[in-house]
Amino acid sequence: MLKLYHTPTSVCSIKVRLGMAEIGLDYESEILDFSKSEQHGESYLQINPDGVVPTLIDDGFVVVESSLILEYLDAYYNDGKLIPKDRKLATTARHWLLRTLAIHSAINTITFSTGARDQILASKTSEEIAASISKMPDPVAQLKRKELLANGLNSAYVNQAFGQLQRAFKDMETALADRKWVTAAEFGISDIALLSYIDRLDRLGFSGLLGDESSKIVGWLARMKARPSYDIAIAQHIPQAVADKTRQAGEKHWPEVERLWTARLGK
């Protein structure tokens, strides 16, 4: 039996759950409570020293990094059906998997400079925040989290994140110009890998970032939401009350996000 360490709302957890739902895999679910810093507990750090989710355990074999987990599951439990057979398209799909590292960083920035920042600052003392950040294994990640909590949307990380998203939106829109799915005519691993990030922006109330020039992505997102895997991997794990709270927290920041994004685009 496969075992998955994950959290209900983390974008990388969602990415892997989507893949497992598309392939039709059952797994033992081990949910970590980030509010209690369980991802930084000694027992979890022994299997994932980075202290992040998800982590897949397959008969004692540990697989980390969500895109690698997707490839692993597709290759060994799905006969590689989610990767195109054409070598050029296959390479393009794997390039998207690599690009999600930068896209993930951008979504992390947008999340922790807006709604998540408000929640953390309202619920924790400065001492508690400092203690929580000190448990993060990566000192650079610590610095980023401190900076985002201190400066919010005024952080330099925000402009960097907008640059990554602007490029990703442009390339996705180009890819979807003459087909329904990102890499090929058939649904595949690129669609699974990208969905959780675009969905997070939508759940934060920031879908306006897509704009009129990203109508193809909007249509793609609707198609992704219509797939059974969306309900299995996302909707069933995120109660409506939590979804509503996330959107309300994000929408408070939309006017400033929109202003900064518009300035970035030179409009």
**Interval 228-265: pLDDT, tens:** 999 999 999 999 999 999 999 999 999 999 999 999 88
Give the pLDDT band of residue 35 (cuts 50, 70, 90).
Answer: confident
In this prediction the pTM is: 0.96
At residue 213, the pLDDT reads: 86
- Domain identity same for 96 and 217: yes
- Cβ within 8 Å of residue 219, ≥6 positions away: 176
Burial category of 211 from C-beta neighbours within 10 Å (exposed 0-12, middle 13-18, buried 19 and up): middle
- Cβ within 8 Å of residue 207, ≥6 positions away: 201, 218
The total number of structural domains in the chain stands at: 2
231 occurs within a structural domain: yes
Domain end position, chosen among 77, 102, 134: 77
Give the pLDDT band of residue 267 (cuts 50, 70, 90).
Answer: low
pLDDT above 70: percentage of residues in the chain: 100
- Domain identity same for 38 and 102: no
Q: Are strands 61-64 and 27-31 parallel, antiparallel or unpaired?
A: unpaired
Specify the CATH number for the domain of residue 103: 1.20.1050.10
pLDDT in tens, 107-158: 999 999 999 999 999 999 999 999 999 999 999 999 999 999 999 999 999 9
At residue 265, the pLDDT reads: 85
User: What is the extent of the structural domain holding 222?
Assistant: 87-265
Domain end position, chosen among 77, 112, 141: 77
- Cβ within 8 Å of residue 248, ≥6 positions away: 205
CB atoms under 10 Å from CB of 122, counted, come to 7
- Domain identity same for 195 and 103: yes
Specify the CATH number for the domain of residue 41: 3.40.30.10
Q: What is the mean pLDDT of residues 212-230?
A: 96
- Domain identity same for 203 and 223: yes
- Domain identity same for 59 and 148: no
82 occurs within a structural domain: no
